[in-house]
Chains A and B, each alone.
Chain A
């Protein structure tokens, strides 16, 4: 087998060195009743060509984004990833290295994570960021848990504009952590009075900007209300590129930012792996979840990097750790770092502007169709349309015509019939004028 270097002669020699009569003898500690006598009922080994043929056949059954005008967002965005990103992350020294617990053998990973932490802090406008989380949704749940630890209060308020998956993950974590959640209902197109939900038990309010429906809001006043009440403002960002165009959460007074970083460097991947980002005030750092890279010096006085503040973490602190998290999303963070570095200041701002322009053009065209109304006041690269009929069958019909035309809001809010006519549409730099033409024509046809 191509992945196994031992030959039968090696195996015989090694068994002889061990003094074992057979491989079976090495499994002597396994109770006899628990040993599988023969092969399990699964296919036998295959060559590379055969495996490739079978998986490629599965892949070919999907209508992927490159095959159709594509307008889906909702927390996962299709952006052009420069070729250098994938080339660099596939270098074996990055791809096949472990968590950098031995810093002298991992300065490459550590320095790139230090650059990542800096980029995330700069983009979000926060003081510090960690070395990444699993994804945006789990980062949100960890933010609520951190607010609970910091304030010693056990109630959290979730905005109705929070992505329903983020909300659901918060609910799952909270029911086991004893955190009480107050959920404001989704009110696309209208505001919500979150400040009135603050009380002396509130650890944090969680909002999203742009929110799930694409709306951009100023949360500066809410931040002040939170701080006056002794609570934290957690801002979720699912489209990090938006921060190239809009005021970042840090400038609005956010205490914690929990975000999804997939937009930079990472493919859609049918939902994962993606990249959780976590940024906060520097004073919270000893309560942060996840890994942190810090600067230090070596025995010769030269600058270098190490994993730091490990006394927060499970491998040292065990049941008193700030989180049970062990793995982060290292390679996804590297892809983010390289993509952001390639863009740089000028490129990131221009890319954000291009996204906004494309979305505005798309919104104007679609909202001009009979019976279609734009719900948003302000938006970045994603917006919500109210159709004259339920959106789910419209999206199915569009797909049948080869157009991936957004996300029916009902897929995420099956319990809200009043939202059934809403269609969430994203338009990034990958959308061409021809794509917009085809989407408009197909939607006109389907709605007729």
Chain B
């Protein structure tokens, strides 16, 4: 592994070992100085906590060092190319962070009098306007907390519209290439899911779709561009077929970054579309959230949008917070308070920075970068589908056939080369999928370096070095982790040794 062998400390240069914070308790230490309150008569009526909580005590420098060391065990888009297909790991502008922290947004309570928050309501209204223009849909629900929450919002809204029309339907059609959240969402809303196969071109099989459409179908949930990185080129026919069957057309907008400024989903016949602000609109993924999943809605669905609703009145902007009166058709509330306002600040800053011209360029560069990788990697890897791709390119594991190297092994070897792996084994429509999305924020030099690494790894795999792949990664703070053991005997928290 290395000429040095084991070190005394367990550290290896910049790779610093770090115990759990619970294992560093130094009793008596505290990282916060607080005054002692003057004597007072408590009003807890005998419900005082009995016994200690069990938290360790550390001073501020110990805490800062602890979390700094932990941070250094992470890969990040700030450190390098992060080609996770369908996840859209693009640069997160720091201006957005600065603006979200302005006290006028961050230090604002959601239930202050409306007159005292007119600027925040203007921010919501302005964000809504941008997103409505970009999607070509007349209404937008901003409260969903993430993409999957947006899906829930969209499908609930569809069910409410069908119920209001006295036309309850039981089935939702989902292509087999869909994100797992699509069928999970439809099931959460009480629907039966039917899978639509892909055709040989990686798109929805229109004939199979038409055969499944009927009076019992509530909606089609389609991702476009789809998770194979392909534009559904028969989308106008699909929309037409769905509408003729009396169903709604839901679009998963996870891949909106491929078409932003160039295609408006409302003009494709889409009735509801969620956007992931942490994908297309550059809000940070933060190691798994917080996200934000606004849902653009057609006029037929808008009366069922979740509260709060933003309206204009004589005094400026106001919120309708209850599903009554003008909002009586609303599905109700999906989240506490008004939504992920801090993420809206970031997204609006991003949209204003790019402008109408820059957002169009975002889509163009994202598609250009992905097609460049498609062409440069076509010989080394095996393309799943011929032809153009959009913002991401899908390979299968055919190029690893008879090498003894799996897609997972290949991905782990990329880690030793300093790259985060692409999305693996998804979508499910091809064997051993490798889904690569570079995003528009990678330079050509960065893509060329990535290509060189991928070509070299593919050559190594073909040269019969399978054992080295199985042992990867070697250079990370931890080698390959045993996920099977973790699931078999779950240890989900620290406990003191004595317990």
Is A194 an interface residue when CB atoms closer than 8 A count as contact?
no
Q: Are B337 and A272 in contact (CB under 8 A)?
A: yes
Task: Collect the chain A residues with CB atoms within 8 Å of residue B54's CB.
Answer: 122, 345
Give the nearest-CB partner of B64 in chain A: A84
Which one of A93, A115, A300, A340 contacts B74 once the chains associate, using CB atoms below 8 Å?
A93
A291 contacts the other chain (CB 8 A): yes
Chain A residues closer than 8 Å to B233, beta-carbon distance: 29-31
CB under 8 Å from chain B, chain A span 57-114: 57-66, 70, 72, 74-76, 78, 82, 84, 86-100, 102-109, 111-114
Q: In chain A, what residue has the closest Cβ to B331? A: A172
**Contact (Cβ within 8 A) A93 B103:** no
- The answer to whether residues A342 and B355 also contact, given A84-B31, A109-B74 and a CB cut-off of 8 A, is no
Q: Which residues of B contact A447 (CB under 8 A)?
A: none
Residues of A in contact (CB 8 Å), total: 209
Contacts of A13 in B (CB 8 A): 444
C-alpha spacing A351/B53, complex, angstroms: 14
> In the docked arrangement, what's the CA distance between A308 and B485, Å?
9
B288-321 contact mask (Cβ, 8 Å, vs A): 1 or 0: 1111100000000000001100000000000001
Closest chain A residue to B293 by CB distance? A327
**Stretch of B184-192, B241-249, B459-467 with 4 or more beta carbons under 8 angstroms from chain A:** B184-192
A316 contacts the other chain (CB 8 A): yes
Cβ of A334: which chain B residues have Cβ within 8 Å of it? 67, 286-287
The answer to whether B145 and A138 touch across the interface, beta carbons within 8 angstroms, is yes
Q: A30 contacts B352, CB within 8 Å?
A: no
Cβ of B43: which chain A residues have Cβ within 8 Å of it?
A: 356, 360, 363, 376-379
Write the A318-349 contact mask toward B (1 if CB under 8 angstroms, else 0). 11110111111111101000101111111111
On whether the beta carbons of A31 and B230 are closer than 8 Å, the reply is no
Contact B113 A395 (CB under 8 A): yes
Q: In whole angstroms, what is the CA distance A147 to B141 when docked?
A: 29
CA distance A327 to B151 in the complex (A): 13
Q: Does A269 contact B (CB under 8 A)?
A: yes
Report yes or no: B331 in contact with A314, Cβ–Cβ below 8 A. Answer: no
Q: Cβ of B261 and Cβ of A36 under 8 Å apart?
A: yes
The answer to whether A343 and B31 touch (CB under 8 A), given A29-B230, A72-B112, is yes
- Please tell me if A33 contacts chain B, counting CB pairs below 8 Å: yes
Cβ-defined contact, A270 with B109, below 8 A: yes
CB atoms of B50 and A111 under 8 A apart:
no
Of all chain A residues, the one with the shortest Cβ separation from B99 is: A55
Asked if residues A137 and B336 are in contact (CB atoms below 8 Å), the reply is yes
Q: CB distance B372 to A51 under 8 Å?
A: no
Task: State how many residues of chain B have any CB contact under 8 Å with chain A.
Answer: 206
Residues of A contacting B268 with CB < 8 Å? Answer: 34
Enumerate chain A residues within 8 angstroms of B91, measured Cβ to Cβ.
3
Q: Which single member of A10, A35, A104, A331 contacts B284 (CB below 8 Å)?
A: A331
Contact B44 A380 (CB under 8 A): yes
Q: Is A199 part of the binding interface, using a Cβ–Cβ cutoff of 8 Å?
A: no
**Contact at A135–B107, with CB atoms within 8 Å?**
no
Question: Within residues 127 to 146 of chain A, which ones have a CB less than 8 A from any CB in chain B?
Answer: 127-129, 131-132, 134-138
Q: What are the residues of chain B within 8 A of A76 when measuring CB–CB? A: 109-111, 337
Q: Note all chain B residues with C-beta closer than 8 A to A326.
A: 146-148, 179-181
- B480 contacts A299, C-beta separation under 8 Å: yes
Interface readout for B54-85 with A: 1 if CB under 8 Å, 0 if not?
A: 11111010011011101111111111001010
Question: Is A422 an interface position by the 8 A CB rule?
Answer: no
Contact B32 A351 (CB under 8 A): yes
- Please determine whether B288 and A99 come into contact, CB atoms closer than 8 angstroms: yes
Q: Which of A3, A19, A82, A327 contacts B289 (CB 8 A)?
A: A327
Q: How far is the CB of B78 from chain A (nearest CB, A)?
A: 3
Q: Name the contact of A331 in the complex, choosing from B289, B412, B478, B491 (C-beta under 8 A).
A: B289
Is B335 touching A118 in the complex (CB atoms < 8 A)? no
Docked complex: B336-371 residues within 8 A CB-CB of A: 336-343, 345, 348-349, 351-362, 364-365, 367-369, 371
How far is B103's CA from A378's CA once the two chains are assembled, in angstroms? 33
The proximity string for B residues 99-116 relative to A, scoring 1 for CB distances below 8 Å and 0 otherwise, is 111111111111111011
Is B169 an interface position by the 8 A CB rule? no
A327 x B288 contact (CB < 8 A):
yes
- Taking a contact as CB atoms under 8 Å apart, the answer to whether B355 and A45 are in contact is yes
CB-CB under 8 A for A96 and B284, given A76-B110, A272-B338, A378-B45: yes
CB pair A61–B119 under 8 Å, yes or no, is: yes
Chain A residues positioned under 8 Å from B375 (CB to CB): 17-19
Interface core residue of B67, B79, B93, B113 (most chain A CB under 10 Å): B67
A350 touches B56 (CB 8 A): no
When C-beta atoms are compared, the residue in chain B nearest to A340 turns out to be: B55
With A98-B285, A272-B341 known to touch, is A331 a contact of B106 (CB < 8 Å)?
Answer: no
In the bound complex, residues from chain A placing their C-beta under 8 Å from that of B100 are 269
Residues in A with CB closer than 8 Å to B118 are 61-62
Residues of A within 8 A of B332 (CB): 168-169, 171-172, 175
Q: How far is the CB of B153 from chain A (nearest CB, A)?
A: 9
**Residue contact A324 to B30, C-beta cutoff 8 Å:** no
Compute how far the CA of A304 lies from the CA of B97 in the bound complex, rounded to whole angstroms. Answer: 31
A190 within 8 Å of B (CB atoms) = no
Q: Judging by beta carbons under 8 Å apart, are A169 and B333 in contact?
A: yes
Q: Which residues of A contact B387 (CB under 8 A)?
A: 29
B123 within 8 A of A: yes
For window 365-388 of B, CB contacts with A under 8 Å fall at 365, 367-369, 371-372, 374-376, 387-388
Please name all residues of chain A whose beta carbon is closer than 8 Å to the beta carbon of B5 when the two chains form the complex.
none
Q: Quick one: which of A51, A172, A176, A271 has the most chain B CB within 10 A? A: A271
Q: In the complex, what's the smallest C-beta–C-beta distance from B452 to chain A, in angstroms?
A: 14
In angstroms, Cα B491 to Cα A373, docked, is 50
- Tell me, in angstroms, the Cα distance from A440 to B323 when the chains sit together: 35
- Give a binary string over A32-54; 1 marks a CB under 8 Å from any B CB, 0 the rest: 01111001111111101001101
In the complex, the answer to whether A134 meets B149 with C-beta atoms within 8 Å is: yes
Question: Known contacts A36-B262, A106-B75; is A357 also within 8 Å of B40 by CB?
Answer: yes
Given A175, A270, A313, which contacts B117 in the complex, CB threshold below 8 Å? A270
Residue contact B40 to A360, C-beta cutoff 8 Å:
yes
List of A residues within 8 angstroms of B95 by Cβ: 48, 51-52
Question: Closest Cβ of chain B: how far from A434's Cβ, in Å?
Answer: 15
Q: Does A15 contact B (CB under 8 A)?
A: yes
Residues of B within 8 A of A404 (CB): 109, 112, 116
Q: Does A247 contact B (CB under 8 A)?
A: yes
B21 touches A115 (CB 8 A): yes
| A4 lies within 8 A of B358 (CB) | yes
A341 to B55, CA, bound (A): 8
Contact between A34 and B267, CB atoms less than 8 A apart: yes
Q: A98-B87, A98-B89 are in contact. Are A344 and B29 (CB under 8 A)?
A: yes
Write out the residue numbers on chain A whose beta carbons fall within 8 Å of the beta carbon of B44: 216, 245-246, 356, 378, 380
Instruction: Assess whether A96 is in contact with B105, with CB atoms less than 8 Å apart.
Output: no
A294 on interface, CB distance cutoff 8 Å? yes
Q: How far is the CA of A243 from the CA of B50 in the complex (A)?
A: 11
Expressed in whole angstroms, the Cα–Cα distance for A23 and B282 within the complex equals: 23
B432-472 to A contact mask, C-beta < 8 Å, 1/0 = 00000000111110100000000000000000000000010
A/B interface sample: 20 pairs, CB < 8 A: A30-B259, A39-B261, A48-B95, A72-B111, A94-B286, A135-B337, A244-B49, A270-B120, A273-B292, A298-B482, A299-B479, A308-B492, A319-B193, A326-B179, A331-B287, A334-B287, A344-B30, A350-B34, A356-B40, A414-B322
- Nearest first, the 4 A-B pairs at minimum CB distance are A59-B104, A271-B337, A331-B286, A61-B119
A58-B123, A298-B480, A411-B111 given; 11 more Cβ-contact pairs under 8 Å = A5-B442, A34-B267, A48-B353, A56-B99, A59-B119, A98-B285, A117-B492, A271-B110, A291-B288, A342-B63, A347-B57
